[in-house]
Structure 1
Amino acid sequence: MKSLKKRRRVQVIMAAFVALVVAVVLIGYGFRDGINLYRSPSQLAEVAPGPDEYFQLGGLVKDGSITNLDGVAFDFVVTDGVAEIPVRYVGGDPRPDLFTEGQGTIAKGYFRNGQFEADNLLAKHDETYMPKEVVDTLKEAGVYQDPNS
C-alpha cells in the first residue's frame, strides 16, 4: 500500500515539474521578441539606445512634418513639446487614415543614425482618442491639451 502512495506522489511531482517546464517555455516563447519599451522624444534625446534595440516612440506628429516618399514610406517628426525626433516609416502598410499632424501616435522600431526607423504605427481610432502613454508624456512636458475642452 505504501509503495502505491509513494508512486502516486512521485507521479504528481513529475506532472507538476512538467507543467512548470511547459509554462516557462511558453513564457519564453511569448517574450522571444523582447519587451517593447515605451520612450518619449525627451527620453530618447537624453539617452539614445543601441541600434538593435526595438522599442516604442510616442508623442504628437509635428505640424507640417509629414513628407511622402516612394510607395507607402513617409517621413514625419514626433514631438512631446520639449524634444523632436525625426521618424521614417519603412513598414509595408499604407499610412493609417487617422494618422494626421498634431495627433498622438506610437511608432515601433529602431533608433539609428539620429533617426527613428518605424516599421509599425499606432494611430488614434477616433477623433478624440490619444494613447495613454502619449498623454502622460505630454502632461509631464506641460503641453497636454484635453481635446474635450
Structure 2
Amino acid sequence: MTRKQRRLSLIAGAGLVLASALGLVAYALNDQIVFFYAPSELAEKNIAPGSRIRLGGLVAEGSVKREKDGEVFFSITDTAQVVPVMYRGILPDLFREGQGVVAEGRMEPDGSFHADSVLAKHDENYMPREVADSLKSQGLWKHNQETATQ
C-alpha cells in the first residue's frame, strides 16, 4: 500500500467514524426536540397524539377554571383557533386571561393539550417571539410591542 493510499484510507475511516458519531448524537437528541405551534398551525397539521410540542398564543378570555386538586383548565387561542389545555401545578404569577403564554407538553387523542410547563410574559411589553410572529402573520400585532421582542 502506498503512502497516498494509506492517507486516503485514514481519512475515509475518520470520516466514517465522524458520520457515525453524528448519527448517534442526532438519534439521541430526537426525543429532546420540541417544535413550536400556534393553535391555527396545530389545526392545519396532523400532530400525532403523544407528540411533545410547545403551544403558544393568548389565554382565551373566560377560559380559566381552577380545580381544588391543583388542576387548571384554560384555552390558548390565536383568535382563529382555540386549543383546550390542562395543567397541574402552580402557574406563573403573571398568568392571566388575554396575556401571551407558551405551554410545553403533549397532545392528547381527543385534541386537547396536556401541559407540563407554562411560561407567561414577564412584563407588559414582552411576548415570546414565536407568539409575536404568529400574531404578526395574522395581522393582530400591536405596533407599540414591536421593539419588545427584539
TM-score (norm 1): 0.78
1:117 aligns with 2:114: yes
Residues 30-67 of structure 1, C-alpha deviations (whole Å, 9 max, x = no match)? 2234x433222223344553322222211101233222
Residue identity over aligned pairs, in percent, reads 37
| Match runs of 1:1-149 below 5 Å | 3-33=2-32, 35-47=33-45, 49-90=47-88, 93-112=89-108, 113-146=110-143, 148=145
Q: Shift in Å at residue 72 of structure 1?
A: 4.2
Counterpart residue identity of residue 67, structure 1? K
Work out whether residues 61 and 98 of structure 2, in 8 Å CA contact, stay in contact via their aligned partners in 1.
yes
For 2:41 and 2:58, how far apart are their aligned partners in 1? 15
TM-score (norm 2): 0.77
For 1:75 and 1:147, how far apart are their aligned partners in 2? 31
Q: Shift in Å at residue 87 of structure 1?
A: 0.8
CA RMSD of aligned residues (A): 2.6
**Unmatched runs of 5 consecutive residues or more in structure 2:** none
Q: Which has the higher helix share?
A: 2
